[in-house]
Structures are given as C-alpha cells and as structure tokens.
Chain A
Amino acid sequence: MTHTKIREDTTSANAPILETRNLVKRFGSFMANDHLNLTIRTGEIHAILGENGAGKSTLMNMLAGLLEPDEGEISYRGKPVRFRSPRHAMEAGIGMVHQHFMLIPALTVAENVMIGLKNGRGPWFRHAKACADIRRLSESFGLDVDPSAKVGELSVGQQQRVEIVKTLYRGADFIILDEPTAVLTPPETEELFRVLRALREQGKTIVFISHKLNEVESLCDRVSVLRSGKLVASAPMKSTDAAELARLMVGRDIVPPAPRPVPAKSEPVLEVRELSLRRNNAALLQRVCLAVGEGEIVGIAGVDGNGQRELCEAIMGLSADSAMEGEIRIRGSVVPRPKPKTMTELGVGYIPEDRQQDGLVLPMSIGENLILKQFRSKRFNRLFTLKRSRIREAAEAAVREFKIKTPTADHPAGKLSGGNQQKVILARELMQRPKVLIAMQPTRGMDVGAAEYVHRRLLEERERGCGILLVSTELEEVFALSDRIAVIYKGRIAETVDRAEANVDTIGLRMAGL
C-alpha cells in the first residue's frame, strides 16, 4: 500500500521534464504526427501506446534527434530545444534504446559502451578504466553486466541491458525504450521491469513504448495513447484499465474470438515423424513428432530459441546445411527431400519469423512480392513474360481485401509499416489457398488491431479446412487460436494436448523445462 502511495505522490508533484507543443511531422502530405501536446513528468515511467503507424516511432525519433519536427516545439527542462542529431539529444540528457540493438557483437561490452566517446586524456582506449567505470555505474542501478564480456556471447536480455548502460554512461536522465519487451522471454521481462523501477527510484524518467497492455498496466505511472498521429488520451495509469486503453488505441471494442466447434478427427494434412536435426554437432531437434489435421490449428508454445525456427525451416526444406533424419508427410504421402518449391507445390504456405529477411523483397512493389511464389502460374505468366496488368490487379485486390495501408498499390514493400508488410505476406500465402499453413510468430511486433485481423484470417483458413501449425512465444495467442497445444523445449516436443484440457500454468512450467 505504501508503495502505491509513493507513486501517487511522485506523479502528481513532479514538474514536467519534457513537453511538446503542437508538434507536427509530415511525410509528403501524410501527417505522421498531428499537433501533439504531450507532457512527460520527471521521474515517471510513461507509456506510449498506439497501433503500428500511429506515429509512436516518429514522435520518439523527434525526441531523440533522429528526425526534425516540421512545426511546433519541444521544450526540455523548461527550455525550447531543437535537436539536429542524436548526439545533440544525448548531450541534453535524452537517450534511446532501439528495438533493434545498435551493438557490435565482436566487441566487448566496455568497447560498445565507449564507442564514440573519449575516456581520459590522449588517443588511447583504457579498457580497465572503462570496465571499472561501467561496473560502478551498472551496480548503482542494479544492472548485472560484465564489462569485459563479448556482446555477441550475451543473451538478448543482457544485450538490452548493455544498451541501457550505454545511455546511462552518456549521462541520460530521460530514457526512451522502443518496444523493449518484444524480444524478451517472460523472466527477462521481469528483470527489465525491476531495472526500470530501480531507475525510476533514482529519479530517471522513462518513456516506454509497447503494444502489450498488461505490461503497461503493471509497470507504468502514466499512459498516453496515439491514434493516426493524434494524441487521443494521456492519463495516470490508475485512472484507466487495459480494456479502455485497447479501445482508445484501436478506436473500437476488441471482440475476443468466439468459441469454435472442435474439428472432427481426420487424416492429418501435415505429419512430422521422429524429426531430428543436427548442425555442427549440435542437436537442434530431437525426434519431434507432430500431426496437424484438416481444419485444425496446432499451437507450439515455447520460449524463443528452443528449436521453433529450425522445426519450421526443416518442414519447409530450408535447412539444407543440417543433417536431417525422420519423415515429413503432407496429406499422407512422404516428402522425400523437402524443398521450398516442392512444399509450395504440395500446398504448404509459410509465414516466416523474420518477415523482412525471409518473407519479402523490400525494394520490390507489393504486387511483385505477391507473386514471388506464383510467378510461374498461368495467371501471372505468359510463356516467359509476366502479365503486368494481372499483377497490378492482384495487388489492388490484396490492398482492398487485407486493408493494407499504402499510398498506391505499387508502393515498395519496404516503405510499409511492419504490420502492413505482414499483411502482404499473408495475402501472398493465402492467395494460393494452402492446405497446410506454417505460421511462425504471425503477429510479432503488431498492434492489437492488426494482430486481431491476422487471427481472424487464420481462423477463417481453419474454417476452410486448412491445417495450421502456429508457432508463437505469446502464450495468450497460442491459447486463443489453437485446437491442440504442444510445448517445445530444447528441440523436443513432449506431447500435444487438447486446448480444453490444457492449463496455462502447466504449459508455462513446461516452457521453462520443468
């Protein structure tokens, strides 16, 4: 009780550290930020919520000096400021931890922290002194970081702490974290929250960008919601709740998926038997058995990095560099040597985990990305030339049907936001009316509205009779969609249970290997 009391006092008593007045940023004549008036107070953890494309990143990039505002002003510590580069923002005391870390894996923690800085006089880098400084600093904030470790050998959670130390070392009092939990496991998330609370105790101000409402609810003091570039609400966390925030973000109520009939037992459309995979003497998958029936969603829960990616890539024939044993059957018949092309021809669709690297050719148009798998079909191909008008029609149809937000249908995929990029992939895979769909992290990094849309489409595919293998690290997602649930841990899958019999706690324990 006393704790909440303290929080109340700090949020109400403290003076604003940063304010924006009628802040405007345009891209072309698209309003990314539309006259924002935001106030952030000293010593609070302030959440910025919003769907993809709502303008969160644009706003943060302006605060951190990566973009310059078109109109309006930012005042920091009571004085108007104009940052021409991240360096200027840093000098003023504003640091940012990006979603994709800006670290060099081959260098040590100390070297990464010191990049671009001088320590002591003279041109030499004094590693021991840097290590001592960093150790002192990280201990004072309860951050467990070994300054002499190589960054490439650290876990994702540890690398994130290095990024935080980097900002602290540069004297940041105002730290922006861009979707920091997107890459973390639940225990790592807890650890991060502990660190952030410790930073708040020491008077640092934190801006926390997230999609995950429960996290915002448990961590933040105040919350601001952006929608289509406008600030729609800014309030103390205790005066609101997750349901209201979700409504504000999306602009309408979120309907949870309705309960669905259990599919009749049928012949499996996808069957994996005793699949083992080794690469450089490391066992990545060990005798994995799985079956997905017609019109069934099988969810694979698990903490990132336990063989999910390897499993999906092995099924799709994308692990040519690994020794594979076992059998993959599609609709009853064995696929002797799975290859991407064969699997596509057999009616297997694939939503890869890394949509930019594996799922799209970013500089190409939406239409060209749509036909990456079907360019040989009669629909798009005449002898050896492409039917360009058909491709354009397909792109326009996909933009309409999947509500892809884009200025034109032949816009490059790389200029779309993450959620819209995923919609392009979804459109491509569903265009082929797959019998089997391997969906890996289909909503990672997406906002509530877009994720809900993807979920609805997956359920529609299930209705149509498609068997779906859903791999997700979000337990909530697995429970919301799956008919049966399995847990993957260190390359093994113990058993698959019906959702009705599955229990969140036991699944959670299995994910941790217990």
Chain B
Amino acid sequence: MQGKPGKVALMVAWSVEAGFYVAAIAISLLAGALVMAAAGVTPWEAYELMWQGAAGGANSLKETLVKATPLLFAGLSYSFAYRCGLFNIGAEGQIYVGALTGTMAALLLPPMPFWVHLPLALLCSFLGGALWAGIAGALKIGRGASEIINTIMLNYIAIFLISYMVTGPLMDAAGSLPQTAKLPASAILPQLGGSRLHVGFFVAIGTAIVLYWLLERTTWGFQLRSAGLNRRAAEGMGMPVKRNLLLAMMVSGALAGLGGYVEIAGVQHRLMQNFSPGFGYDGIAVALLGNTHPLGNIVSALLFGGMRAGANSMQRVTGASTSLVYVIQAIMIIVMLVNKYWLGGFKKRIREALIRRVERSDSSSGSTQLNWNE
C-alpha cells in the first residue's frame, strides 16, 4: 500500500508545489516591474541593479546575508509561536529589549575575556526577549488576555523604554547623540575578513536548524505542536499545556531578543534610538513566506535580505526610492497567500492529471492510493 505509488504521488505533489512557488515569485517580480515602470524607472535596469547589489559579487552577497540576519531571527520568532498556536506580534519590542539587556551586559559588566563576555551578552539578550514576551504569555494563560493585543502594546513600551535609556542613563557620555557608548571589543560579534558580514548570520542559521530539531524531533516540540493544533485534545491527554505555552511564548521572544543584540553587536556596535526599521514586523512576512517552517524561513529571509541589499544599490544609481522594494515585497506576500489558500482545487487537478500520466507511462506501478482531499 505504501511503496512506489505513494512515493510517486508525493513527488508529484512536491514538484507541483515547487512549480507554483517559482511561478508566484515570477508573477510578483512582473507586477513589481509594472510598478517600477509607473514610477518612471526602467524595470530591467532596476532589477539588474538589484541583482548586482544582492548577488553580483562577494561583497553584495555578504551584504545580503547581513540584511537577512535580523529578518531570520524575527521570522523564526513568529514561526515558533505560530506553530504552538500563539500569535506573537511583538518581535519588534522583543528585539529592542533583547538589544537593551545585551548592551547592558556588554557595557556594565567588568572587563572579561571575549569567550566569556560575548556569550554572556547573548544570553542576556535571550533572557530579556524571553521576559518581555513572558509578560504577554503570562497574561494569556493566567487571565486569557489576547497575546496579539498585548504583544503589540508592549512594542510601544519597549521602543520608548530604549529611547529613554539611550537619551538618559545609558547615553554616551562622550557625545550628544541618542545612543550608548561603543561596545567593548570583547562583546562584539567577529566580522569575517574585515567585511560587514559577522558571525551572527551563522548563529541565525544554527538557530533555525536547532528550532527545526526542537519542533519536529523532541518530545517537548511534539507537545508544543499538539497544543498548537488542538489545545483541547492536548489538555485531555494530560500534557501541561499552560506551562508549555508560556515557555513557547518566552522562547519566541528570546529568539527576537537574540536577534536584537546580534544586530547591535554585529552591525551597529552600539545601541541607538530606533535602530530597527521594523525588523519585527518584517519577520511576520518572512515567516508567512517561509510557511512558518524553520528551514523555510532561511530561504525567505535570504530573499528579503537580498531585496533590501539590492534596493540600496538600485537607489544609489537610479535615484528610485527603496520603498519600491517594499511594494514588491508586499505584492509577493499577497501572491503567496493566494497561492496557498485559493489555488487548492487547481493544484489538485494538476496533481491528479500528472499522476494519471505517470501511471499510464509506467503500467507496472499499480494504483496510487493517496487521497488528497484538502
């Protein structure tokens, strides 16, 4: 019953999915070209420049990875909560708080060697994000308050808290800008060969892989997925659902917090007001495009990171606003959502036709028994 026919159906399903994904991206780029033309930019030239800026050489590629790093952390943060049945819209705030606690560990602790200081600062950012998300998590499981509303509101508190800290207690004594002093070298993420690319990118990739393993392979991940898919059943089976959801919310916040400090310690090297141009919210888009799968997030974060890097070089040459890239990004999300939710029947027909063709050409394979009724 399993064996070959099942595999054929699975392969067909995968290739149809992949085909539609590629088509969705192509359609978005085409729609983006129309927008560019309307804005008075030659689309071909703009895309060419974007490609140059994103992948045209070693430096461009590195820039893409730098831009992708905070997006990946934010996307993982949203994805993890989502898979557990929670909506964490607060990655932005958690990024700020994680950046704050990490920076405080970097600046306020007595001097110590690099291999103690950097991990300690990263740990502090992890805990800061966890605690910030934990507020919304505790309100959710204790009082039933919507975590969507509370995480959004905590974003504002966090952003203003950081504004206060960098203009007050933590302000750089040597200047008048709203920012802290430069981080000590022992708390900074090493850069590769003098470029802007820092170790943080690899930390992000590692985090995605760990998260995949955690969700799919571990007992705890199994409990989290059960609670996310059917909370009532998970409770009925005797799983500690409330405790797990609080922890899941905290892990989600911790990922964003870590991303916040990685951005500070890898790129900015000091905490400043409004250092995040909305990484937290972009993370939701990254997660959606990555199908809330940890490894899917890597692909979508690289895509978005590439578009950011490309946008800068496009702006430098053509003078067209980088906002055009945001337009393309938004179109891409809409196209992806249509692909995911509206085309089920169409894809099914294609799959069935393909399976029939495979069966006809390979009469020995017998009948396929997979029942795809979505």
On A, residues with C-beta under 8 Å from B are: 26-30, 316, 318, 339-344, 350, 352, 357-364, 368, 371-373, 375-376, 381, 384-386, 388, 407-409, 411, 415
Contact = CB atoms under 8 A, between A and B. Distances in A.
B230 A344 contact: no
Contact of A29 (B217, B233, B239, B368): B368
Nearest to B213: A385
A28 B356 CA distance: 9
A316 B237 CA distance: 10
A440 to B, nearest CB: 12
Nearest to A408: B2
Given A361-B230, A372-B237, 20 more contacts: A27-B371, A28-B371, A29-B359, A339-B238, A342-B238, A344-B238, A350-B236, A357-B233, A358-B236, A361-B229, A361-B233, A368-B222, A372-B234, A373-B237, A381-B219, A385-B219, A386-B217, A386-B219, A386-B222, A409-B2
A344 B235 CA distance: 12
B71 to A, nearest CB: 27
A384 B217 CA distance: 9
A361 B6 contact: no
B248 to A, nearest CB: 15
A346 to B, nearest CB: 11
Contacts of B367: 29
B220 interface: yes
Contacts of B223: 375
A26 B238 CA distance: 39
B237 A407 contact: no
Interface-centre pick from A343, A375, A409 (highest chain B CB count, 10 A): A375
A364 B239 CA distance: 16
B226 interface: yes
B9 interface: yes
8 contacts: A27-B373, A28-B370, A30-B369, A340-B235, A341-B240, A361-B234, A408-B6, A415-B373
A364 B229 contact: yes
A316 B235 CA distance: 11
Contacts of B359: 29
Interface string B263-298: 000000000000000000000000000000000000
A384 B352 contact: no
Contacts of A318: 235-236
A29 B232 CA distance: 35
Given A344-B238, A385-B219, A408-B1, A358 B355 contact: no
Contacts of B234: 361, 372
B198 interface: no
Contact of A361 (B226, B355, B372): B226
Contacts, number: 100
B321 interface: no
Nearest to A357: B232
A5 B238 CA distance: 60
B218 interface: yes
B67 interface: no
Contacts of B117: none
A320 to B, nearest CB: 9
B140 interface: no
A187 to B, nearest CB: 31
Contact of A352 (B1, B225, B236): B236
Nearest to A350: B236
Interface string B313-338: 00000000000000000000000000
Return the 3 tightest CB-CB contacts between A and B, nearest first.
A341-B238, A340-B238, A407-B369
A376 B222 CA distance: 11
B217 A385 contact: yes
B1 A359 contact: no
Contacts of A341: 238-240
Interface-centre pick from B217, B219, B220 (highest chain A CB count, 10 A): B219
B372 A360 contact: no
Given A344-B238, A385-B219, A372 B372 contact: no
A445 B371 CA distance: 22
A358 B230 CA distance: 8
A316 B217 contact: no
Contacts of A352: 236
Nearest to A373: B237
Contacts of A407: 1-2, 6, 369-371
Nearest to B223: A375
Nearest to A28: B370
A373 B238 contact: yes
Given A318-B236, A341-B238, A28 B219 contact: no
B93 to A, nearest CB: 30
B222 A362 contact: no
Contact of B372 (A28, A350, A368, A371): A28
A372 B369 contact: no
Given A316-B236, A408-B2, A384 B370 contact: no
A1 to B, nearest CB: 48
A438 to B, nearest CB: 12
A392 to B, nearest CB: 11
Contacts of A373: 237-238
Interface in B201-251: 217-220, 222-223, 225-226, 229-230, 232-240
B218 A386 contact: yes
Interface-centre pick from B6, B222, B229 (highest chain A CB count, 10 A): B222
A376 B219 CA distance: 7
Contacts of B2: 407-409
Contacts of B372: 27-28
Interface string B101-123: 00000000000000000000000
